[in-house]
Amino acid sequence: MAKRAVALLLMLTFVLSGVMASARADGTVLNVPVRCREGVTITPLSIRVSDGISSKNSPGNGKVYVIVAFRLTNNGPGRYSFLTGLNLSAKQDGKNLDRIIPYNVMLEIAATSKAGQNYDILPAGEMAPGETYEGEIGWIVDKNWKTLEITYSYEEFGSASAVFTFRSGSLTGGGSDLTTLYRSDFNRPNTDGWYGHMCSLSVMDQGVLFVSGRTLDWNGPRRGFKLKPGVEYTVSVNVYYSRHVGPVTFMITLEQDGANWRNLAAGKTTWGKWVTLEATFTPEPYGSYTLYVETMNAPDLDFFIRDFTIRGPKGGL
């Protein structure tokens, strides 16, 4: 798997089915994937407000940059081309916006959003099966904006589109956002703090962790996190298995103080396909928190995980 962060100033070729994903009233994005044909999904990850990082890239008097991050995942059987099929448009409070953030400004702002990591801009490209891209796109809006509506339209395939609606709420001051707090980094021989509970872990190529030797459903990869009670987090992971059985249900589970278990996300998977589990949760007041991946009615199944991610407000970990 080659994982890249790309600014979503791209034109993509796939069809959506008229699905809408929206934000909560306070402007925090719900991490709801929109499924496209051939297994491609688009997931809105975060929304944030910026006044720029210097006077030279200021949005102007009475204006702010509103920046939305998306994740694109190709779980389909073949490569997926990013060409000219996708039209991006936006409305602020019902009025069309034509002032997208310029490339050079977007790069400067994006470079400050994830620990200084720069975003590549790929005007055209392809996603191989199993690849995930993440990136941001933004518009220049009025400082007192209330609603931003982003539409993905596909003219050559008819009027199919997806509409993402975000409300300013607590974001109007600039900078309160949902951000990536943790993303797994499996590189041989490093398991990135993960350990096998009554099982074995092996780091494979391309950031994949192999889980084997299980005898019970709740045997699996685990990791402790310094979560904060009362803070809302979004957790996700990609899971895969190759044995010709199934479908199999995988779960993300939270363990609090060595007990007090909560199943956060569950999803059925079929062999030979990467599937994403995702959930939003708020920890209760306990002293320690452990997140792990387990199965249901498949106690001896070997499987793979990658891209275990936690998102939340800045300072949430």
State the CATH number of the domain containing residue 25.
2.60.40.1240
Residue 21 confidence (pLDDT) above 50: no
Global pTM value: 0.50
Domain interval for residue 195: 182-313
Is 70 in the same domain as 142? Answer: yes
Q: CB count, 10 Å around CB of 285?
A: 9
For the stretch 215-254, pLDDT in tens is 999 999 999 999 999 898 989 898 999 998 879 999 999 9
Is 211 in the same domain as 164? Answer: no
For the stretch 275-313, pLDDT in tens is 888 888 899 999 999 999 999 999 999 999 988 989 888
Is 73 in the same domain as 221? Answer: no
Is 227 in the same domain as 259? Answer: yes
DSSP 170: G
For the stretch 157-188, pLDDT in tens is 434 456 777 777 534 333 334 678 998 888 87
Is 169 in the same domain as 306? Answer: no
Is 104 in the same domain as 137? Answer: yes
59: amino acid identity, one letter: P
Is 68 in the same domain as 155? Answer: yes
Q: Where are the alpha helices (DSSP H) in the chain?
A: 103-110
Six token digits for residue 136: 């941001």
When pLDDT is cut at 50, 70 and 90, the band that residue 31 belongs to is low
Place of tokens 């509103």: 66
When pLDDT is cut at 50, 70 and 90, the band that residue 269 belongs to is confident
Judged by DSSP in three states, 206 sits in helix
Is 207 in the same domain as 262? Answer: yes
* Total of domains in the chain: 2
52: amino acid identity, one letter: G
